[in-house]
């Protein structure tokens, strides 16, 4: 596919003889929302960790536009423009949301090497941080320790952190995992709002969310691509339906 | 609440400063100097252990390296002792670059073992290089020179050296409360997240390691000048162990805890030696085990925790709390990341 901003070719990851990801080709079009779905153990999260540098691929390549991401460390991948959220909420419990976002905004600036300055110098990012928190609906909770936030708010902070890096590609690992209906709806709205001008790749179990957000869907099974296409096509694909047998409520 | 907190800090600082100034009046001045040096060493180690989540078991290389280089500079150049001490600190920082480079990417116990191994290599070199270091006898006859002032009295030396010690404390305090310190704490609390934010965590850990080593070298240099010689024991692994013990005893990630731990251990050692007691290790070891079992946050950490829970307040800034019990402060995220789906 031309116009792919993020492209994986023949991507594989082997854990002690077990191929969690087994020759995956993936092309994510610029400006699209691309969902990765599949039953548990299909290799979605492993693929995610390969794309973000948290795992090194056993084989294959990853490109972001003109950059080769293959085998790069997570911080390089983040700098080059692929930001991620974590499936299991991953924050600094004692820092406030504002401090989180300030830290994210400071990461490309070099300010954080200055061990001789006061940490108050990070406040120069306060205005932008509050803007981002406002965008995800966290402005009212900007000053309490993140460890005490409600679950939905922690997820929103995850999103704000990824957005703070102003990424070319935003990778969301199960953004609605563990959420109630109301929070799911709010998250869908949020993703819809922030996707403007961005490319989004998301791992998602909730098919309603996939249906309402994704332009394209890649279905994984046993580490391989089972099917790929628009959601409307994918949902009728007999291979996909049979892959989801026993997980029947996943495809509506 | 906030007002009382703001008020509490200067009171602690003033009290600490006051204590530092009157210490040689209260106890034997050389012991006061030992406490000051070990306190700085413990704080420098806490910078790694408490604020970066790295347990170094090889800091004797930097304390001892600083001691020998400061001693050698003082012996051979006759320069003022602060110059010698700063040379020792600089040497420790330079020595920390290759050691840190090869070890910061390791986690937990592996980091501790590799730093220990490097420190033992330094010990071996110091022991073998007799012509320079005096081997087992240590480096003898280190002068205390400062523009012809008579510093032979330990009481005087304490006050002349104190500004350097205090400068070291200020440096640790500044580093912890800097943008850089904020990143260190984020690495300690959640390494994977820090990486995902674009932070090259190994390079941050390396700088933290070098800074910690530099301040340890400063403390070691002052210690050697104070004693008039650099001992082989200063680069031995027991020195690393003692510093770790002081930090754990006082409270990891509290800074004040390191000072308190150093004061207790040095004072106790001195008391036992004066009393002619042989098995010092057994006493300090037992106390250490008891404290760690009963007060997992250390003495300072436990006291502060009690005060905080009683007043029902939360900590002031994110760095003020210890990273729980584990020396390698990184929690679950990397495990979640590494496992197959």
Contact with chain B for residue A41, Cβ under 8 A: yes
Q: Per residue in A69-126, pLDDT tens?
A: 998 999 999 999 999 988 777 889 889 999 999 999 998 888 888 888 888 888 889 8
pLDDT of residue B120: 92
What number is the average pLDDT over the span A208-219?
89
Q: How many domains does chain A have?
A: 1
What single string gives the DSSP state of each residue in A30-87?
Answer: TT-EEEEE-STTSSHHHHHHHHTTSS--SEEEEEETTEE-TT--HHHHHHHTEEE--S
Residue A18 pLDDT grade (very low, low, confident, very high; cuts 50, 70, 90): confident
Considering only the beta carbons, identify the residue of A15, A44, A115 that sits closest to B180: A115
Q: Could you read off the pLDDT of B235-254 as tens digits, one per residue? A: 888 888 889 989 988 888 88
Tell me if A195 is assigned to some domain: no
Averages of pLDDT over runs of 10 residues in chain B (341 residues) are 58 84 85 92 94 91 94 87 92 95 89 91 88 79 76 84 92 93 92 92 95 96 90 86 89 88 87 80 81 81 82 48 39 34 30
pLDDT at residue number B6: 54
| β-pair type (A33-37, A199-203) | parallel
DSSP E strands: which ranges in chain A? 4-15, 18-29, 33-37, 59-64, 67-68, 82-84, 169-173, 199-203, 216-221, 224-229
CA nearest to A95 within chain B: B318
| Residue A96 is assigned to a structural domain of this protein | no
Residue A13 domain-assigned? yes
B247, B46 Cβ separation under 8 angstroms = yes
- Is A206 touching B (CB cutoff 8 A)? no
Structure tokens at A186: 């709010």
| Structural domain harbouring A32 | 1-71+203-252
* DSSP 8-state class, residue A142: T
Q: What is the pLDDT of residue B8?
A: 60
User: B2: distance to nearest CA of chain A, Å?
Assistant: 14
Query: Which CATH number does the domain housing residue A233 bear?
Result: 3.40.50.300
Take residue B182 and report the two structure tokens written for it. 């904020």
Q: Would residue A54 count as lying in a domain? A: yes
Query: B129 Cβ partners below 8 Å, 6+ apart?
Result: B135
- pLDDT band per the 50, 70, 90 thresholds, residue A62: very high
Q: Is A40 on the interface with B (CB under 8 A)?
A: yes
Asked whether residue A6 is assigned to any structural domain, the reply reads yes
* Minimum-distance CB partner of A84 among B183, B196, B200: B196
Distance from CA of A121 to the nearest CA of B (A): 7
Work out the number of other CB atoms within 10 angstroms of the CB of residue A53. 24
Complex ipTM more than 0.95, yes or no: no
């Amino acid at each position: 596919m031309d116009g792919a901003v993020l492209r994986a070719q023949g991507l594989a990851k082997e854990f002690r003889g077990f191929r969690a990801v087994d020759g995956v080709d993936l092309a994510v079009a610029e400006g699209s929302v691309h969902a990765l779905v599949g039953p548990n153990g299909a290799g979605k999260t492993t693929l995610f960790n390969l794309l973000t540098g948290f795992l090194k691929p056993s084989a294959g390549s990853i490109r972001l536009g003109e950059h080769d991401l293959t085998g790069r460390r997570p911080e390089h991948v983040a700098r080059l423009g692929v930001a991620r959220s974590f499936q299991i909420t991953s924050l600094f419990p004692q820092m406030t949301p504002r401090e989180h976002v300030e830290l994210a905004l400071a990461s490309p600036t070099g300010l954080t090497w200055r061990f001789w300055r006061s940490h108050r110098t990070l406040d120069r990012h306060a205005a932008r941080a509050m803007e981002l928190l406002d965008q995800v609906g966290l402005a009212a909770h900007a000053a309490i320790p993140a460890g005490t936030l409600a679950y939905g708010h922690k997820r929103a902070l995850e999103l704000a952190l990824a957005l703070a890096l102003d990424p070319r590609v935003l990778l969301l690992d199960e953004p609605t995992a563990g959420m109630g209906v109301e929070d799911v709806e709010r998250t869908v709205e949020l993703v819809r709002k922030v996707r403007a001008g961005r490319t989004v790749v998301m791992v998602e179990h909730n098919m309603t969310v996939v249906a309402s957000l994704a332009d394209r869907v890649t279905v994984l099974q046993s580490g391989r691509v089972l099917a790929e296409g628009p959601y409307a096509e994918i949902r009728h694909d007999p291979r996909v339906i049979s892959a989801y047998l026993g997980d029947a409520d996943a495809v509506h | 609440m906030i007002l009382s907190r703001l008020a509490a800090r200067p009171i602690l600082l003033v009290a600490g400063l006051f204590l530092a100034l009157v210490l040689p009046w209260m106890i034997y001045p050389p012991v006061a100097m030992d406490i000051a040096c070990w306190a700085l060493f413990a704080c420098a180690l806490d910078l790694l252990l408490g604020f970066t989540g790295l347990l170094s078991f090889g800091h004797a290389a930097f304390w001892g390296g600083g001691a020998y280089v400061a001693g050698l500079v003082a012996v051979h150049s006759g320069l003022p002792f602060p110059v010698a001490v700063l040379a020792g600190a600089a040497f420790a920082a330079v020595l920390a670059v290759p050691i840190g480079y090869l070890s910061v990417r390791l986690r937990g116990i592996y980091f501790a073992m590799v730093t220990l191994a490097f420190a033992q290599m330094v010990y071996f070199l110091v022991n073998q290089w007799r012509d320079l270091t005096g081997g087992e006898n240590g480096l003898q006859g280190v002068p205390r020179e400062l523009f012809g002032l008579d510093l032979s009295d330990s009481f005087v030396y304490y006050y002349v050296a104190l500004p350097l010690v205090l400068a070291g404390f200020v440096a640790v305090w500044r580093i912890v409360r800097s943008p850089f310190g904020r990143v260190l704490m984020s690495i300690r609390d959640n390494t994977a997240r820090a990486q995902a934010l674009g932070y090259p965590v190994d390079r941050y850990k390396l700088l933290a390691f070098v800074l910690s080593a530099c301040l340890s070298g400063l403390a070691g240099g002052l210690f050697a000048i104070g004693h008039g010689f650099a001992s082989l024991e200063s680069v031995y692994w027991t020195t690393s162990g003692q510093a770790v013990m002081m930090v754990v005893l006082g409270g990891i990630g509290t800074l004040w805890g390191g000072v308190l731990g150093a004061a207790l251990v040095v004072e106790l050692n001195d008391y036992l030696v004066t009393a002619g007691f042989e098995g010092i290790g057994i006493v300090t070891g037992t106390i250490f085990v008891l404290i760690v079992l009963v007060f997992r946050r250390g003495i300072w950490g436990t006291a502060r925790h009690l005060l905080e829970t009683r007043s029902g307040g939360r900590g002031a800034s994110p760095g003020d709390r210890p990273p729980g019990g584990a020396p390698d402060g990184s929690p679950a995220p990397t495990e979640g990341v590494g496992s197959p789906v």
